[in-house]
């Protein structure tokens, strides 16, 4: 099947061809015709399956096909909500790439940067807005964003938005939207919370799935390397050096741990950088750019910051620490093996994390092969200790409470424990400033 057979306009086909794509992916084959028909979609798609183009291309076509001459500022007609800054930027880039030959305007808004340039673009008028929930509500409060004319709503990576505690912000946004609209919900995993949200939000939705739920793509080779906690960094350096890995994405549970590991790798002579919610947006953007260009060999990331990292043919992902929530394992290793390419995902697992490993294997319904690296055999006399999950909380193998970050702070709360009032905030009191560490 070709993109031409999906019924896309010539301008979109030209943009797709310029991007170098000739055949649609499975999610695109299923989703694009349904979205063009105006159907609500509940899409189950892992990262790297082409889902962004799967909703962006038909969204652009529906907007241009139903556009009318506007007097004054053009209204926002399509809203795409994402959980993190990096993913918002990635989706916004796709909108611009595929819509380059259409007379539609788009912009992206997220926290961590000045709100004023964003306000100026919104006031001039855009057709498509890509946003993180917190910063979007800041703009609504400052009257730079009017959501009353939305025709199409996209919730991208809805599971992550709920994990990050954005459900209250999402409800506020939904209350501002018209009842009659097309809604597209995409999620790599389907929890009971996702299903409840879909039941309330979608009208006679079509379920589109391209893989079994809560499973990793088959193009990713998975392996566990048992090792003592104190020797993890040594083993990681050995694996990178002995195999001459040039590009490695490493996951850590906490921001402090990511900084520390990055510093240690640099001491070992391995160029590394850390990316997490406490980093400024400029620092995060630079670290990601350096990693993509090869200036940085290892990028150490937390789960929050890593969502939206889209790198073609990323060969290696390492779980330096297993995630607190099993679903996050799927998202992590989904950074490699994208678009049909092969990838390798390794997990360095100490005795403290055995229950977390069992949770992952129970979720994915598969046993991950265990390979002990010679010279790094774990000491059987070491007893399991409670896992430090950040924020001073220590629990052993317990599931992270819904709506909390891995650092243990309520995602819906500000740093000082109380959110500022919604109305009447000045620019320097925006939600993104008070929620440092969130990707709003």
Residue 55 has pLDDT above 90, yes or no: yes
Give the closest residue to 247 by CA, choosing from 311, 177, 337: 311
Q: How far from 163 is each of 199, 201, 410, CA to CA, in Å?
A: 18, 18, 11
Strand pairing class (152-155; 182-187)? parallel
CA 74, CA 91: separation in Å to the nearest integer? 21
User: The dihedral of CA 344, 329, 157, 428: what is its sign?
Assistant: negative
Distance in angstroms between the alpha carbons of the first and the last residue of the chain: 38
Q: What is the DSSP letter of 264?
A: H
The answer to whether the beta carbons of residues 122 and 145 sit under 8 Å apart is: yes
Domain ranges in the chain?
A: 3-209, 220-388
Give the closest residue to 333 by CA, choosing from 433, 237, 229, 217: 217
What confidence category does residue 392 fall into, taking pLDDT thresholds of 50, 70 and 90? Answer: very low
Task: Give the pLDDT score at 249.
Answer: 93
Mean pLDDT across the stretch 374-397? Answer: 73
Q: Which CATH class is domain 220-388?
A: alpha beta
3-state helix, strand, coil in the chain (%, to 5): 40, 15, 45
- List, in order, residues 6 or more apart from 45 with CB less than 8 Å away: 27, 51, 54, 186, 188, 208, 209, 210, 211
Mean pLDDT across the stretch 221-249? Answer: 95
pLDDT tens digits, 197-217: 888 889 999 999 876 555 566
R_g over Cα of the chain = 22
Least confident of 98-107, 154-163, 178-187: 154-163
Residue 396 has pLDDT above 90, yes or no: no
Q: How far from 319 is each of 47, 346, 395, CA to CA, in Å?
A: 17, 6, 19
- Give the H or E element holding residue 22: none
Q: Which fold has domain 3-209?
A: Rossmann fold (3.40.50)
CA 381, CA 96: separation in Å to the nearest integer? 57
What confidence category does residue 312 fall into, taking pLDDT thresholds of 50, 70 and 90? Answer: low
CA 152, CA 95: separation in Å to the nearest integer? 14
Structure-token pair, residue 235 = 């083993």
Intrachain domains 3-209 and 220-388 with the same fold: yes
pTM above 0.85, yes or no: no
CA 149, CA 398: separation in Å to the nearest integer? 44
Percent of the chain with pLDDT over 70: 82
The answer to whether the beta carbons of residues 437 and 255 sit under 8 Å apart is: yes
Residue 260: exposed, middle, or buried by beta-carbon count in 10 A (0-12, 13-18, 19+)?
A: middle
φ/ψ region of 304 (left if φ > 0, alpha if ψ in -120 to 50, else beta) reads: alpha
- 341 or 111: whose pLDDT is higher? 111
Mean pLDDT across the stretch 346-356? Answer: 96
């Amino acid at each position: 099947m070709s993109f031409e057979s999906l019924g896309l306009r010539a301008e979109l086909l030209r943009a797709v061809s310029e991007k170098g794509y000739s055949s649609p992916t499975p999610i695109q084959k299923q989703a694009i015709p349904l979205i063009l028909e105006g159907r609500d979609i509940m899409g189950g798609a892992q990262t790297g399956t082409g889902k962004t183009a799967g909703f962006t291309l038909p969204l652009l076509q529906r907007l241009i096909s139903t556009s009318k001459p506007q007097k004054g500022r053009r209204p926002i007609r399509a809203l795409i909500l994402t959980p993190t800054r990096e993913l918002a930027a990635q989706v916004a880039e796709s909108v611009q790439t595929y819509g380059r030959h259409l007379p539609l305007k788009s912009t992206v808004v997220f926290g961590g940067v000045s709100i004023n340039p964003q306000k100026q673009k919104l006031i001039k008028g855009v057709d498509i807005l890509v946003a993180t929930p917190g910063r979007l509500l800041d703009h609504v409060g400052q009257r730079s964003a009017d959501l009353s004319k939305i025709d199409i709503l996209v919730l991208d990576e809805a599971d992550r938005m709920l994990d990050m505690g954005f459900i209250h912000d999402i409800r506020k946004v939904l209350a501002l939207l018209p009842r009659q609209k097309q809604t597209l919900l995409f999620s790599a995993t389907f929890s009971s919370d996702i299903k409840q949200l879909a039941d309330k939000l979608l009208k006679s939705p079509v379920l589109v799935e391209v893989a079994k739920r809560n499973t990793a793509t088959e193009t990713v080779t998975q392996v566990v390397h048992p090792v003592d906690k104190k020797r993890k960094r040594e083993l990681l350096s050995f694996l990178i050096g002995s195999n001459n890995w040039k590009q490695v994405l490493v996951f850590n549970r906490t921001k402090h741990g990511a900084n520390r590991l990055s510093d240690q790798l640099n001491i070992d002579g391995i160029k590394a950088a850390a990316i997490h919610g406490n980093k400024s947006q400029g620092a995060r953007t630079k670290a990601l750019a350096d990693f993509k260009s090869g200036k940085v060999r290892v990028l150490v990331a937390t789960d929050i910051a890593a969502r939206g990292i889209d790198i073609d043919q990323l060969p290696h992902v390492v779980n330096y620490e297993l995630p607190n929530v099993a679903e996050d394992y799927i998202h992590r290793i989904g950074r490699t093996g994208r678009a049909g390419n092969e990838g390798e995902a390794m997990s360095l697992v100490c005795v403290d994390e055995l229950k977390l490993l069992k949770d992952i294997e129970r979720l994915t319904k598969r046993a991950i092969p265990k390979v002990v690296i010679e010279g790094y055999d774990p000491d059987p006399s070491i007893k399991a200790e409670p896992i430090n999950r950040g924020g001073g909380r220590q629990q052993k193998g317990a599931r992270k409470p819904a709506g909390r970050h891995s650092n243990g702070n309520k995602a819906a709360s500000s740093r000082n424990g109380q959110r500022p009032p919604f109305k009447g905030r000045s620019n320097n009191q925006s939600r993104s400033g008070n929620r440092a560490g969130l990707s709003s």
